[in-house]
């Protein structure tokens, strides 16, 4: 759990004589950022809530950041869902191309600074693309949400807008960038572009986890796509028979969220120095089976 910061601190604040921030990433126990891929539907949310206590026990994350652009019935997010996530200790919510599918979220995005839509959208579009949160131990994390420009609609190029977003954060200990993009090339390119300047670049949107998680030579943790948290038994979240019917018939088909085989997909980034990662660990985890759960029977 963290609190949101509304204004940058003066540069000299809380820095010891080694140049490290006191009690933050230079400290021996370091910082751990748990980032969770796109929550799909109510099942995705329940899967997160069922997995989170275990993940907290196992990894003791300093920050939890969740992409939730599909949490409301598979498309968009509502204020109710966002508040539920914050109440469970999620520090920052990122979004993507489905950010504006629910109108009721627009005023909430203006008032709640910890819910982000891509920073490279128009300034006239509701919400904002970056925020800074601070842990109880005083570690400041800047989070930036970006959209790719290939096959997705974003007003400004991600590669130029990211410079403005980084400089707008002020003084922070760590920066996490969620690059919500369709094309792997844009995500790989952004990872290299920001290597050594941010703690982590994580990709979202395709709902399929990639096998390339690594710390780049300059110290930035990177993965092309974290994957989704939701039904692995569908087609990127949609009931598979509906998706297959659509692909076969080439006709409009109603899509519902699949309820089969829920998994949590995320990454854990560990760090012992500012703006650099020591490791990135992929987390692929089935939803724990509850007593009485029909999946346990037989």
- By CB under 5 A, tell whether 266 contacts Fe ion: no
- By CB under 5 A, tell whether 187 contacts Fe ion: no
- In the numeric block, which tokens belong to residue 273? 């120095």
How many other CB atoms are there within 10 angstroms of residue 138's CB atom? 14
At its nearest, how many Å lie between Fe ion and the CB of residue 152?
8
Q: Name the segment binding Fe ion (CB under 5 A); options: 89-97, 119-127, 195-203, 239-247.
A: 89-97
One residue of 24, 47, 62, 97 binding Fe ion per CB under 5 A: 97
Using the minimum distance from each CB to Fe ion, give the nearer residue, 69 or 173. 69
Residue with the shortest CB distance to Fe ion: 38
CA-wise closest residue to 187 among 176, 197, 196, 177: 177
- In the numeric block, which tokens belong to residue 103? 């109108």
- By CB under 5 A, tell whether 96 contacts Fe ion: yes
Half-sphere exposure of 193 (CA within 13 A, CB side): 16
- By CB under 5 A, tell whether 205 contacts Fe ion: yes
- Cβ-proximal residues to 114 (8 Å cutoff; 6+ apart), any chain: 4, 86, 91, 92, 93, 131, 133
- By CB under 5 A, tell whether 206 contacts Fe ion: no
| Number of chain positions touching Fe ion (CB under 5 A) | 6
H-helix or E-strand spanning residue 228: strand 228-231
Give Cα separations from 126 to 98, 140, 268 (angstroms): 13, 25, 30
At its nearest, how many Å lie between Fe ion and the CB of residue 69?
5
- By CB under 5 A, tell whether 271 contacts Fe ion: no
One residue of 5, 34, 38, 143 binding Fe ion per CB under 5 A: 38
At its nearest, how many Å lie between Fe ion and the CB of residue 86?
20
At its nearest, how many Å lie between Fe ion and the CB of residue 228?
6
Does residue 98 carry a catalytic annotation? yes
Could you give the CA distance from residue 31 to residue 43 in angstroms, rounded to a whole number? 29
Region for residue 74 given its phi and psi (left: phi exceeds 0; alpha: psi -120 to 50; beta: otherwise): left
Q: Name the segment binding Fe ion (CB under 5 A); options: 70-78, 99-107, 218-226, 282-290.
A: 70-78
Catalytic residue ranges: 98
What is the contact surface with Fe ion in residues (CB under 5 A)? 38, 69-70, 96-97, 205
């Amino acid at each position: 759990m963290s609190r949101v910061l509304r204004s940058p601190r003066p540069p000299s604040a809380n820095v010891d004589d080694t140049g490290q921030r006191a009690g933050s990433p230079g400290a021996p126990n370091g910082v751990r950022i748990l980032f969770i891929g796109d929550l799909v539907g109510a099942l995705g949310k329940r899967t997160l809530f069922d997995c989170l206590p275990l993940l907290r026990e196992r990894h003791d994350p300093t920050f939890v950041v969740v992409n939730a652009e599909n949490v409301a019935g598979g498309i968009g997010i509502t204020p109710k869902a966002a508040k539920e996530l914050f109440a469970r200790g999620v520090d920052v919510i990122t979004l993507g191309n489905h950010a504006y599918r629910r109108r009721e979220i627009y005023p909430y995005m203006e008032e709640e600074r910890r819910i982000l839509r891509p920073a490279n959208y128009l300034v006239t579009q509701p919400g904002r693309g970056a925020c800074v949160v601070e842990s109880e131990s005083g570690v400041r994390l800047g989070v930036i949400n970006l959209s790719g420009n290939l096959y997705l609609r974003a007003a400004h190029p991600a590669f130029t807008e990211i410079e403005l977003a980084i400089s707008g954060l002020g003084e922070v200990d760590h920066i996490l960038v969620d690059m919500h993009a369709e094309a792997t090339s844009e995500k790989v390119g952004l990872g290299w572009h920001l290597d050594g300047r941010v703690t982590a670049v994580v990709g979202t949107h395709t709902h399929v986890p990639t096998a390339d998680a690594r710390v780049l030579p300059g110290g930035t943790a990177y993965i092309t796509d974290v994957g989704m948290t939701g039904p692995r038994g569908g087609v990127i979240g949609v009931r598979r028979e509906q998706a297959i019917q659509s692909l076969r018939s080439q006709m409009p088909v109603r899509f519902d969220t699949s309820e089969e085989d829920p998994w949590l997909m995320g990454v854990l980034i560990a760090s012992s120095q500012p703006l650099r990662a020591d490791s990135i660990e992929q987390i692929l985890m089935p939803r724990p089976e509850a007593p009485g759960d029909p999946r346990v029977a037989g």
